[in-house]
Amino acid sequence: MNITWALLMMTLGSVGVQHDQNEAAVVSALQSAMNPPVVSQHSSNPESTSPANPSVTPSPSASPGATDPNQVILTDPQPDAPKVKGIYVTAYSAGGARMETLLNLLDQTELNSMVIDIKDDAGYITYKTDNVNLQTLGKPQPFIGDVSKLMERLKKHDVYPIARIVVFKDTILAKKNPQLSFVNKDGSVWRNKGGDSFVNPYNEDVWKYNIEIAKEAVKLGFKEIQFDYVRFPEGFEKRADTLKYTKNDKSRVEIISDFVKYAKSELNPLGVRVSVDIFGYAASVPAAEGIGQDFVKISKNVDIISPMVYPSHYSTGWFDVKDPDKNPYATIKGSMIDTHKKLNPLGSYKPIIRPWIQDFTASWLGSGHYVKYGKQQVEDQVRALKEENVDEFLLWNANNRYTAGVDYEK
């Protein structure tokens, strides 16, 4: 493993691939540091094609930032849930013609679940809602024209539905409510290089807004809420003292962990599971204090943890592999060994491990450092997971074009 690169990435708070930013551009910006680079976040840009143990439920009476650790119950809010083998589905696909193709894929294979954008990377709520508070704070868009019809369709095809909610990366909420975001000295809302804004994890109104969206998703029929971008902006430690925002005496790691605890305490009593996406390499290195992510602290307070272990997102030397993208089996196997080592000490608090794996070609890595991903590469990843006793997974392809003919029981 290239520990120098790993520590560099932890210092930078990783590289967040943005909704409207070409992934290759992110890579180019990092090549002066090390080559090939790591790109460690989902990408929703189709042009860049880039994430049965009992769990712990905090007391239902928990309030934001105040979960009583002595009031926990070992339970699974979805005890009859299948072993999830799923795919990522954008709101555009869910509400458009591609959905028929995706449903056919699930009907004809061992795949059984869809992770659907309900609040996307820009902050749009992806369907019409009658909730006045969500209309006021957010900006609902009818990307999914009839969400009730969608849910009926998923049920008809026996699809286990998971709602993806992007939490703290939220340009819409930040622009409409600067007091909930990070503000520059000139009074403008801070934006990253991709033009995206984040909202402040210290602000409990932000917590409540996202949980309100999650609760509406539960009412619609989603069985699980998957939170993404549960972190501060990349490299936040470099600007933490220059931006204006509300905060308290807790560390960023504590605040992010508190949000996850709060989300679980609010949602588990409704019979819905809570999962969180997290950088895959976080299992192999110390906590990313700059962005507030601690792999163990987050994992302890979710039902499912979904590390993004795309082979293309590891640089030379990880798991003793020269080009991780060209050896998906060894890369996934190594990442799962590290994940188990990190989480085994949690005992009964250890969540289900359900990684995001790669079903896209990482051509931005450059000639000689990548291979075209197809049936063999996807099956190699699944086989590596199975050998490490991980029998759940999610496939990521930003434009929802998944490889045909894959044996997902490998």
pLDDT tens readout for residues 106-135: 999 999 999 999 999 999 999 999 999 999
Q: How much is the pLDDT for 43? A: 55
Q: How much is the pLDDT for 299? A: 97
pLDDT for 48 beyond 50? no
Q: Mean pLDDT across the stretch 272-282?
A: 95
Burial of 218 (0-12, 13-18, 19+ CB in 10 A): middle
Residues 378-387, buried b or exposed e (16+ Cβ, 10 A)? bbbbbbbbee
Q: Mean pLDDT over all residues of the chain?
A: 87
Q: Mean pLDDT across the stretch 255-269?
A: 98
Q: Alpha-carbon distance 66 to 373, whole Å?
A: 45
Q: Alpha-carbon distance 338 to 318, whole Å?
A: 11
Q: How much is the pLDDT for 105? A: 98
Question: Please, which pLDDT band fits residue 281 given cuts at 50, 70 and 90?
Answer: confident
Task: Report the half-sphere exposure of 149 (CA within 13 A, side-chain side).
Answer: 10
pLDDT for 235 beyond 70? yes
Q: Mean pLDDT across the stretch 199-227?
A: 98
Residue, of 22 and 209, whose pLDDT is higher: 209
Question: Please, which pLDDT band fits residue 34 given cuts at 50, 70 and 90?
Answer: very low
Q: How much is the pLDDT for 143? A: 98
Task: Tell me the percentage of the chain whose pLDDT exceeds 90.
Answer: 80
pLDDT for 68 beyond 70? no
Q: How much is the pLDDT for 46? A: 38
Residue, of 168 and 42, whose pLDDT is higher: 168
Contact criterion met (CB below 8 Å) for 296 and 305: no
- Give pLDDT tens digits for 315-336: 999 999 999 999 999 999 999 9
pLDDT for 232 beyond 80? yes
Contacts for 33 with CB less than 8 Å, ≥ 6 apart: 5, 8
- Tell me the helices (H) and strands (E) count for the chain, helix number first: 12, 11
Q: How much is the pLDDT for 193? A: 94
Q: Mean pLDDT across the stretch 249-274?
A: 98
pLDDT for 53 beyond 80? no
Question: Please, which pLDDT band fits residue 75 given cuts at 50, 70 and 90?
Answer: confident
CA distances from 346 to 57, 59, 226, 391 (A): 14, 19, 21, 19
- CATH numbers and ranges of domains, the chain: 3-65+83-396 (3.20.20.80)
pTM of the model: 0.86
Q: Mean pLDDT across the stretch 238-250?
A: 96
Q: How much is the pLDDT for 27? A: 36
